[in-house]
Structure 1
Amino acid sequence: MYLIESPHTAEECLGALDELLEMGPAVLEQYHFGCLVGVHMGWAIVNAESEAGALKIVPGSLRSKARAVKLNKFTADQIKEAHREMEEVPSKT
């Protein structure tokens, strides 16, 4: 699972939306935007096998500025284990 961040300028905004629309309504539906409040960024969470695969839903004109962040979740047990591991590391003071 990847979080896509696709920044664009106010000047690029309508063109980017047009490109997304051309990619199909299913692609457009995956996005959330901040454009109406002056934050020209599109966000989407997608399932993909790789970062490159995730970026395929970004319009070509914006792909070089976009990034895909691989997401993960933590369980309560993983957090507790991380604390235990930190306690076991000797302090360098």
Structure 2
Amino acid sequence: MERFIIESPHPIEKCDQAIQDLHAAGYLHQFEWGCKDNEHTGWAIVEAESLEHAKQIVPWYLRAQARIVRLVKFEVADSEHQISK
């Protein structure tokens, strides 16, 4: 499994729907929200088999705006050559 960060912006009128849909899918507890600060975005760090699997976590009507990034950890001993791959 790989780890991904999901950034999923949404319009203010979709706040309730996004929360309800993520709850129904079982992912609500993984998301944190900026909505109370007028930043209508949800963030989550998830484990998934692939980028496509991580993308499926986001409700279909928000996927086009979502940003999903694979996360990796590096050790001090990692060279620049290894990091750039």
TM-score by length of 1: 0.76
Q: Which has the larger radius of gyration?
A: 1
Provide structure 1 residue ranges, at least 5 long, that are not aligned to the other structure: 86-93
- Aligned pairs, number: 79
Partners of 2:49 and 2:63 in 1: CA distance: 17
Output the amino acid matched with 1:22: A
Structure 2 match to 1:6: 8
Are positions 1:53 and 2:53 aligned together? yes
Runs of 4+ in 1 over 6 A off after TM superposition: none
Per the TM alignment, residue 13 of structure 1 is displaced from its structure 2 partner at its CA by 1.1
Q: Secondary structure at the match of 1:64?
A: helix
TM-score by length of 2: 0.82
Structure 2 match to 1:20: 22
Partners of 2:34 and 2:17 in 1: CA distance: 16
Structure number having the greater helix percentage:
1
Structure 1 match to 2:69: 69
Q: Secondary structure at the match of 1:47?
A: strand
Deviations 1:10-38 (A, max 9, x none): 111111112112223xx110111111111
Provide structure 2 residue ranges, at least 5 long, that are not aligned to the other structure: none
Per the TM alignment, residue 2 of structure 1 is displaced from its structure 2 partner at its CA by 0.6
